[in-house]
Amino acid sequence: MERVTHYNLSARVGEMAAMTDSLKDSHVFRTFWAQAARAEGTQEEEEEEAAGSGPLLDMEDAYATLYHPCLAKFRKLYEDLKAGELTFGEVRAIFSDFVDKYEDLTSDLRVMRALDPSDPGDWIQERVGQIREYHHLDRSARAAKVILEVKEALGLTGDFSLLDFVLRITDAFENSRGEKLGQINRQVVLAIKLLRDLDEARCQCLQELVLAREFVHWVCEAVEGVNELKVFVDLAFIFAGENDMDVDRVACFHDAVQGYSSLLYKLDTSQGFQAFAGHLKELWKALDSDPHLPSKLRDSARNLGWLKTVKESHGSVERSSLTLARAINSRGTYVIQAPAEGQQISPDGVLRLLLPESHKGRQELRSYSLEELKELMNKLMLMSGKKDHNSADVEEFSEVFCNVRAEVRAFLNLYSAGSFLFRAWKVQVHCGQPEPVRMHFPLPLVCFTF
């Protein structure tokens, strides 16, 4: 059969035709080709083209001036991408058309494998992810700055270098263009994802913490922990009395400090960004539940002078008394028990309170006598009597203690009357428990719980 030759092409032009056909679907390759064509064009050639005088280059010239430099540039891009050596400056210049078009970018990078048919392309998804995160860096810059400001406001000393890296490659293009794409590792990706989740409301939530720096420092020193916060709030409500404005101040303060407590009390100052990010999740839950949380912090910061007055008006005795009452209400055990044989019967001899306490890492039971409990009761009543607003903890302690004392009087009457059942009788009242009362009689295997 006679062979017909339509075009008398050289081997290298044939190579150019085959390769450009393989790469024709690559947006990047077409862009490189257009750039090479513009670079080689002259004013005269442009005029000829505009006049329709024919092609500016023959095929051999196209190979030398367009295809060869364009393919060399494209091949270098391919090798740098595979190795993760592409710089951020090159990413910005080459892939700016693919912002939020990452499926198209994936397809474009797959076309690159025509340069090496043995390439399985297992690097493509990682590079697409890194380029996507680089594109998102600009959106994350403000969040990174706010978090670093919070770091300074809270006096954190841990490792926040990931955020410094984010800012280094977003603040100034000239300073970051030499950084390599491979530097966007998994930790950086996670950091950028977290920063991307910081919308305007969340950034404002953190910004208020920075602006309330003086208030934050005072709270951390004056109110040491969530339990101490509850005590302070109870005392503040007592101080506020029936003044609606002051009551609102206390409620606002409680909501603000409780909402930000994950950063104020649960974050160790030596922890770094990863731990900080974990505590932010709690803050976001609080913000979702109460969108007014930042404004409550801002208002509480304005009320700092009033809050200091509340703190100064209640001494350490009052705070410790309310703390003890709260502990008794939650885990104390009243014990009413007949005295040992030969001992005199008396209220102080039959009643005691057991309270578990932690001392140097060990749990110990501390025993409080009736006189000590009465003294605590007097302090609480005196404290509550200063204002016409009582504490729920004081009311609970008072109610249970009065009922226990009534039980003691009834027991003493029965014991003194000579009742046999009450000679070795014992009752335990467990505060804060669903089945608080256990009663023991001296008969074998007789025990009542109710």
Is 409 in the same domain as 356?
Answer: yes
Instruction: Give the pairing type, strands 426-430 and 437-440.
Output: antiparallel
- Helix (H), strand (E) at residue 202: helix 200-211
Q: Given this model, what pLDDT does residue 28 score?
A: 94
Q: Given this model, what pLDDT does residue 37 score?
A: 83
Q: Given this model, what pLDDT does residue 206 score?
A: 94
**Residue 38's pLDDT band (boundaries 50, 70, 90)?**
confident
- H/E/C letters for each residue in 383-395? HHCCCCCCCHHHH
DSSP string, 225-253: SHHHHHHHHHHHHHHHTT-HHHHHHHHHH
The pLDDT tens digits for 142-188 are 788 899 999 999 999 999 988 887 787 666 544 556 677 777 777 77
- Name residues whose C-beta falls within 8 Å of residue 187's C-beta, 6 or more positions apart in sequence: 162
CB 186 within 8 A of CB 127: no
DSSP label at residue 182: G
The pLDDT tens digits for 351-403 are 999 998 876 667 788 899 999 898 888 878 767 655 544 578 888 999 999 99
Q: Is residue 3 part of a domain?
A: no
Is 249 in the same domain as 332?
Answer: no
pLDDT at 419 over 80: no
Report the pLDDT averaged over residues 22-35. Answer: 91
Is 340 in the same domain as 386?
Answer: yes
Q: Given this model, what pLDDT does residue 174 score?
A: 46
pLDDT at 44 over 50: no
Is 280 in the same domain as 213?
Answer: yes
- Name residues whose C-beta falls within 8 Å of residue 206's C-beta, 6 or more positions apart in sequence: 146, 147, 149, 150, 198
Report the pLDDT averaged over residues 56-67. Answer: 78
CB 282 within 8 A of CB 270: no
Domain assignment of residue 241, given as a range: 136-312
* Alpha-carbon span 374 to 117, nearest angstrom: 89
Report the pLDDT averaged over residues 327-334. Answer: 91
39-53, 70-84, 376-390, 410-424: range with lowest mean pLDDT: 39-53
Is 307 in the same domain as 202?
Answer: yes
CB 310 within 8 A of CB 235: yes
- First vs last Cα of the chain: how many Å apart? 109
User: How many domains are contained in the chain?
Assistant: 3
Is 171 in the same domain as 304?
Answer: yes
Q: Is residue 424 part of a domain?
A: yes
Q: Given this model, what pLDDT does residue 389 score?
A: 47
Is 190 in the same domain as 283?
Answer: yes
**Residue 125 C-alpha from the chain's centroid:** 29
Q: Give the length of the chain.
A: 450
* Alpha-carbon span 55 to 353, nearest angstrom: 104
Q: Given this model, what pLDDT does residue 173 score?
A: 46
The rounded percent of the chain whose pLDDT value lies above 90 is 35
Q: How far is CA 75 from CA 29, 41, 89, 238, in A?
A: 10, 23, 18, 76
88-102, 153-167, 199-213, 313-327: range with lowest mean pLDDT: 313-327
